[in-house]
Amino acid sequence: MIIQYTAPATSMWFSVLRKVCTFALAAVAMNLLNGFTGLFSLGQAGFMLLGAYTYSIFTIAADMRTTVFRNYGDSIVNFKLPMIVALLLAGLVAAFFAFLIGLPVLRLKSDYLAIATLGFAEIVRGLVQLTQFGPVTNGPDPINNFTSPKNIMVYAALAGVCICIIVLLINSTYGRAFKAIRDDEIAAEAMGINLAHHKRLSFVTSSFFCGIAGAMFAMCNSAVSSVSFTSAMTYQILLVVVIGGIGSISGSLIASFIYYASSEWWLKFLDLENENVPLLGPGFRMVVFSVLIMIVVLFFRRGIMGTREISVYDSCVRIGRFFSGKGKKTAKEDAR
Q: Are 288 and 270 in contact (CB under 8 A)?
A: yes
Q: For residues 311 and 334, what is the distance between their CA atoms, to the nearest angstrom?
A: 35
**Which residues contact residue 105 at a Cβ distance below 8 angstroms, ignoring those fewer than 6 apart?**
113, 116, 117, 120
Average pLDDT of the residues in 78-82 = 85
Instruction: Give the count of beta carbons closer than 10 Å to the beta carbon of residue 102.
Output: 22
Domain ranges for the chain: 2-247
203, 205, 211, 214: CA torsion to nearest 10: -90
Judged by average pLDDT, the poorest of 145-154, 242-251, 276-285, 295-304 is: 276-285
Judged by average pLDDT, the poorest of 3-12, 100-109, 110-119 is: 3-12
pLDDT at 148: 85
* Residue of 191, 201, 197 lying closest to 170 (CA atoms): 201
Q: Are 125 and 226 in contact (CB under 8 A)?
A: yes
Q: Phi first, then psi: give them for residue 224, nearest 5 degrees.
A: -125, 130
Q: How confident is the model at residue 291 (pLDDT cuts 50, 70, 90)?
A: confident
Prediction pTM value:
0.85
SS3 category, 302: coil
Q: Are 77 and 58 in contact (CB under 8 A)?
A: yes
Concatenating the DSSP letter of every residue in 203-262 gives HHHHHHHHHHHHHHHHHHHTEE-GGGSSHHHHHHHHHHHHHH-TT-HHHHHHHHHHHHHI
